[in-house]
Amino acid sequence: MRDDRETLPAWVAEALRRPVAPPADAAARIMARVHAESAPACRRWDGAVRPRRGSAPASVGWSVAAAVAATVVCAAGLYAVGQLRRTAVPRHGITILADSANGARHDSVTPPLAAPVRAAADDTRATPPSRHDSL
Amino acid sequence: MTPPDSAVVRRVLAGDTDAFAILVERHHARCLRLAAHLLGARDDADDAVQEAFLRAYRHLARYEERERFAGWLLRIVVNECRTALGRRRRDEVRRPEWEREAAFAACGDEAERLAQGEELSRALGRLCAEQREAIALRFGEELSYDEMAAVTGAGVSAMKMRVRRACARLRALLTEVHHA
């Protein structure tokens, strides 16, 4: 049963249902434009008309391409960061290499700094700056 | 025997473009009536319906057979009308000139009918777009609330509320006109 609040006077409902006469050539104009369009869901493929399954293949293709591109960019970025760290960080100290094959440990020492460099470093450590020196 | 809409759609999708004319013939009048209620001016309604049919043709592959074709098409018409109203940049319906002109030419029952139509169009034009949609779909197209919700994208309870408010407002507007 219809709620009274959801009703209109009979003449109003009747007027709303009254058909609107379409222009004489309305359907013809629509069909002319339809014919001017390419087929909506069909695509020529080897001479035969086959239904196209929406736009899913195209979107999947783009997604895969985007994922591959993102992976390549990330890999390149990580490689570049690794290269930078390798060249920027001085490697002095002791690196312990574990040989899992025979259980032995090999202590490898990176080559010492060049002698003049080491001497200069020792000099700076040995003689801290003095207030009198600057005067 | 006339084939169902879904069978016609399948024919069009298989490449029989002319079969689309069957769908145009079946649904054009209904779409035009809805657009006329929503937009007011006949030319605008005609344009909106034409665009809606073209859009339906372009996206026919997206139509799913479990849904009624008429409902799917009406949703496109409603969207086209919303776009047309947005282009106008004002939420008012132009008065249907063809009815006004015809009212002068007609006489007797026909004149009364046209005068009523004009009065109703004027009142509809003073409703907001959402209420106009609710009235046109509920009383013009006689859709159920579920169908209205599917066409407009709003919920069923929201549609019921819109119909109630629209009915109250429309009754008030029509009474106002009668007393004036």
Those residues whose C-beta lies under 8 Å from the C-beta of residue B15, and which sit 6 or more positions away, are A39, A42, A49
In this prediction, residues A37-63 reach a mean pLDDT of 55
Q: SS3 for B56?
A: helix
Whether A20 has its CB under 8 Å from any CB of chain B: the answer is: yes
pLDDT attached to residue B46: 92
CATH code for the domain of B81 = 1.10.1740.10
pLDDT attached to residue B118: 81
Structure tokens at B65: 């057979």
Answer whether residue A87 shows pLDDT above 80: no
Q: What is the DSSP string of chain B?
A: -PPPHHHHHHHHHTT-GGGHHHHHHHHHHHHHHHHHHHH-SHHHHHHHHHHHHHHHHHTGGG--TTS-HHHHHHHHHHHHHHHHHHHHTSS-PPP-HHHHHHHHH--HHHHHHHHHHHHHHHHHHTS-HHHHHHHIIIIIS---HHHHHHHHS--HHHHHHHHHHHHHHHHHHHHHHHH-
Q: What is the pLDDT of residues B103-155, one digit of tens each?
A: 444 556 667 777 777 888 888 888 899 999 999 999 999 999 999 999 999 99
In this prediction, residues A61-79 reach a mean pLDDT of 92
**Beta partners for A51?**
A42
Q: What is the pLDDT of residues A96-132, one digit of tens each?
A: 554 555 555 555 555 555 555 555 555 555 555 555 5
pLDDT attached to residue A54: 44
In this prediction, residues B71-95 reach a mean pLDDT of 80
A35-47 burial, b at 16+ Cβ within 10 Å, e below that, comes to: eeeebbbbeeeee
Spans of all domains in chain A:
58-84
Most confident of A40-44, A115-119, B154-158, B176-180: B154-158
pLDDT attached to residue A132: 55
ipTM score for this prediction: 0.79
Read off the pLDDT band of B90 (50, 70, 90): low
Count of domains for chain B: 1
CA distances in angstroms from B126 to A93, B41, B130, B152, listed in the order given: 85, 14, 11, 20
* Torsional sign, CA B69, B72, B76, B78: positive
Higher pLDDT, A112 or B88: B88
Cα–Cα distance, B145 to A98 (Å, whole number): 75
CB-based contact B133:B149 (threshold 8 Å): no
In this prediction, residues B35-59 reach a mean pLDDT of 92
In this prediction, residues B10-31 reach a mean pLDDT of 92
pLDDT attached to residue B27: 94
Residues of chain A in contact with residue B58, where contact means CB-CB under 8 angstroms, are: 37, 40
In this prediction, residues B26-55 reach a mean pLDDT of 92
Cβ neighbour number for residue B117 with a 10 Å cutoff: 19
pLDDT attached to residue B104: 44
Lowest-pLDDT choice from A81-90, B8-17, B165-174: A81-90
Which H or E run contains B22? helix B20-39
Look at A30 and B54 and tell me if their CB atoms are within 8 Å.
yes
pLDDT attached to residue A41: 52
Answer whether residue B96 shows pLDDT above 80: no
User: Which residue range forms the structural domain that includes residue B159?
Assistant: 5-179
Inter-chain CB pairs, A–B, below 8 Å:
106
Which residues 26-65 in chain A show a CB within 8 A of chain B?
26-27, 29-31, 33-35, 37, 39-42, 49, 51-54
Structure tokens at A76: 């390149």
pLDDT attached to residue B111: 73
pLDDT attached to residue A39: 61
Residues of chain B in contact with residue A30, where contact means CB-CB under 8 angstroms, are: 24, 28, 50, 53-54
- Mean pLDDT rounded to a whole number for chain A: 69
Read off the pLDDT band of A47 (50, 70, 90): very low
Cα–Cα distance, A20 to B16 (Å, whole number): 29
Q: What is the pLDDT of residues A26-42, one digit of tens each?
A: 999 999 999 988 665 54
Those residues whose C-beta lies under 8 Å from the C-beta of residue B50, and which sit 6 or more positions away, are A26, A29, A30, A33
Answer whether residue A49 shows pLDDT above 60: no
pLDDT attached to residue B65: 75
**How long a stretch of residues is chain A?**
135
Which residues 16-45 in chain B show a CB within 8 A of chain A?
17-18, 20-21, 24-25, 28-29, 32-33, 36-37, 42, 45
Quote the pTM value: 0.62
Look at B28 and A23 and tell me if their CB atoms are within 8 Å.
no
